[in-house]
């Protein structure tokens, strides 16, 4: 796997895996713990996956930490989620830098608490040279908002083809399209996550609660992914051969 994450090369560099980290609350409730304990365990699970992902052919990992709709949760839970994100960024930045992980936040920044935003900016700056893994954390994120924002940048007179191309460029230039979208926690929906970028993603739903999702579970998801035939709307013969969906293979 090459270490270059530029838009031209990333297609052959490895996979873009996106994760909806669901099930923290239920994991905690089953143990008689407060929901925040589930989120804390969720952060620990995230650290394990970040460690493992580059070793198994993942070059971009996009995780859903907080959606625009999550503001509707009780204020205390929202506060603890932001507290955990801030602590994660503060405590893990140096380790991530050493591991050559580049961190990027996607989503709105105007409503994120100032103290968290400061850590976000610092972490993005400190890890900017990371080439082994691009870790994108979606905070105050909505795919529909992201698409609408990208569309607002396109000149009104753009032809339909131009508009689609411009949106594609705007929404995928940093990280490419999603290859595999994993949702833990047993629900089977996309919850406004990476709707454009996942147009041809393979979907993998598991009953495993996020705090229990570890390297073995990621390996299982990737093993299933590699057995899927990706046709991208074409007929089987014209599609990318299954053998090319190996670590570092052309897709």
Binding site for ligand FPP (CB under 6 A): 21-26, 38-39, 42-43, 46, 65, 70, 81, 84-85, 88, 137, 185, 210
User: Residues 3, 13, 55, 70: which is the catalytic one?
Assistant: 70
The two structure tokens encoding residue 70: 């999550």
Instruction: Tell me if residue 70 is catalytic.
Output: yes
Nearest approach, Cβ of 45 to ligand FPP (angstroms)? 7
Compare residues 13 and 42 and give the one whose CB is closer to ligand FPP. 42
Instruction: Give pairs for 76-85: CB < 8 Å, separation 24+.
Output: 77/35, 77/36, 77/39, 80/36, 80/39, 81/39, 82/112, 82/113, 82/116, 84/36, 84/39, 84/40, 84/43, 85/116, 85/119, 85/137, 85/139
Compare residues 27 and 225 and give the one whose CB is closer to ligand FPP. 27
Nearest alpha carbon to residue 59 among 105, 4, 120: 4
Contact 249, 243 (CB under 8 A): yes
Classify the C-alpha dihedral 46-103-18-147 as positive or negative.
positive
Nearest approach, Cβ of 25 to ligand FPP (angstroms)? 3
Compare residues 88 and 225 and give the one whose CB is closer to ligand FPP. 88
Nearest approach, Cβ of 160 to ligand FPP (angstroms)? 36
Instruction: Tell me if residue 13 is catalytic.
Output: no
Nearest approach, Cβ of 141 to ligand FPP (angstroms)? 11
User: Residues 13, 22, 140, 179: which is the catalytic one?
Assistant: 22
Compare residues 59 and 96 and give the one whose CB is closer to ligand FPP. 96
The two structure tokens encoding residue 163: 């508009």
Tell me the residue number closest to ligand FPP, measured at CB.
25
Would you please indicate which residues are annotated as catalytic (active-site) residues?
Answer: 22, 70
């Amino acid at each position: 796997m090459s270490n270059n994450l530029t838009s031209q090369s990333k297609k052959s560099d490895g996979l873009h895996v996106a994760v909806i980290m669901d099930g923290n609350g239920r994991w905690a409730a089953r143990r008689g713990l407060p929901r925040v304990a589930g989120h804390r365990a969720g952060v620990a699970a995230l650290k394990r996956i970040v460690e493992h992902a580059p070793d198994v052919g993942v070059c971009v990992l996009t995780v859903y930490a907080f959606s625009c709709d999550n503001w509707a949760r009780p204020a205390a839970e929202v506060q603890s989620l932001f507290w955990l994100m801030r602590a994660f960024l503060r405590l893990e930045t140096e380790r991530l830098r050493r591991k050559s992980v580049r961190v990027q936040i996607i989503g709105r920044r105007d409503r994120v608490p100032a103290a968290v935003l400061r850590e976000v900016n610092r972490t993005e700056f400190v890890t900017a040279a990371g080439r082994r893994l691009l870790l994108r954390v979606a905070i105050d994120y909505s795919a529909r908002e992201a698409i609408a924002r990208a569309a607002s940048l396109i000149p009104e007179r753009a032809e339909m083809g131009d508009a689609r191309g411009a949106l594609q460029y705007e929404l995928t230039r940093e990280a490419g399209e999603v290859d595999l979208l994993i949702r833990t926690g047993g629900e089977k929906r996309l919850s406004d996550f990476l709707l454009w970028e996942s147009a041809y993603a393979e979907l993998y739903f598991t009953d495993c609660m996020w705090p229990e999702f570890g390297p073995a579970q990621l390996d299982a998801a990737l093993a299933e992914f590699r057995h899927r035939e990706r046709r991208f709307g074409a007929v089987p013969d014209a599609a990318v051969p299954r053998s090319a969906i190996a670590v570092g293979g052309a897709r």
